[in-house]
Amino acid sequence: MNSTRTGHTEQDTTTRDTGSPVFALHRGGKLAVAATVPLRDAADLSLAYTPGVAEVCTAIAEQPELVDEYTWKSKVVAVVTDGTAVLGLGDIGPRASLPVMEGKAILFKQFGGVDAVPIALDCTDVDEIVETVVRLAPSFGGINLEDISAPRCFEIEDRLKERLDIPVFHDDQHGTAVVTLAALRNACALTGRSLGELRAVISGAGAAGVAIARILVEAGIGDVAVTDRKGVVHAEREDLNPVKRMLAGYTNKAGLSGSLETAMAGADVFIGVSGGTVPEAAVATMAPGAFVFAMANPNPEIHPDIARKYAAVVATGRSDFPNQINNVLAFPGIFAGALQVRASAITEGMKLAAAEALAAVVAGELSADRVIPSPFDPRVGPAVTAAVAAAARAEGVARA
């Protein structure tokens, strides 16, 4: 594998307080493997391992589909990264990404009852990543792609979906999109509006921005424009990569061009997934009763104190403000539902079902500070799991 990497260093000479609580918690890692069967004596050993295990191996060799019933394959997800877009840290490499991937695996187990294995790959080449994951796939019931930089993440996901018959899900894209749609549905319900009458502006045309735009269009938003560093993404621009050119084909019905600030004038919704700072003057030009979802971490594009001067509903990506748009509300239940029915893929319909179920959890409890549940709401996981499983059956991708 090609391990040559740019844009980061594996060595850091900064002095760290390794005696702090966060280092204490991480010491030794955050995961372990535990047996689910007894191993008390020779009789147990003969069943769990040789000679008994040979009977199961032979049966699977004769009927490969039995692997789902007699191994952990159908209950476990690979959390795969190349370390190129880790949280707000950027390209820090596979070793430095591993604590995040371990954390992701904990979230899978805690919030979805799904076992997950972190896999940090020491390569950034698209072909190599795809081939590696394809070769690892027989051990897993699903693949969660994590913290892979755009636009490579789009191609990697698409190519894996073509070659694998198990769910492949890039959470930075689709998890963010599902939770955003759920919160937006409830913001509409709270204020007596519908998605179809809203015009949204998304700041950021990376993985999350593209996926949010797509799911909003699928859900029936009135219009959505996406902006990047050069302004509104529109079909007349000659500097668009293939992903942005496709994006321009199904967004921006109003034909906007120019800067983010220009697009925000009169907009009903601002969705930030890019970082940076949006001037208060631009927020003030939005439509009355607007929704501001400023989700950059740790610093929202628009501070909630400023956003609340103009917006009816404000959301961020932070846990210390109301309405946290947190992927953990989506991906554990989505995978739990998909694995429950041994789905061959995660479809657009399954994502929409997840968003609807998530919104419904707090539909009777809405306020400006509560348009999305807390990750610790025990109703979230079961609701999303059931909705995704039902949608998989309805769309014909369930195999159990």
Residues marked as catalytic: 49, 104
Contact 327, 380 (CB under 8 A): no
Burial of 289 (0-12, 13-18, 19+ CB in 10 A): middle
Strands 142-145 and 231-232: unpaired
DSSP result, 195-209: GGG-EEEEE--SHHH
Rounded Cα gap, residues 265 and 267, in angstroms: 6
Nearest Cα neighbor of 285 from 304, 260, 303, 305 is 260
Q: Please give the helix or strand (H or E) that residue 47 lies within, else none.
A: helix 42-48
Contact 268, 287 (CB under 8 A): yes
At residue 117, the 3 state secondary structure works out as: strand
Rounded Cα gap, residues 94 and 121, in angstroms: 6
Alpha-carbon torsion (36, 41, 43, 46), positive or negative: positive
Rounded Cα gap, residues 32 and 48, in angstroms: 19
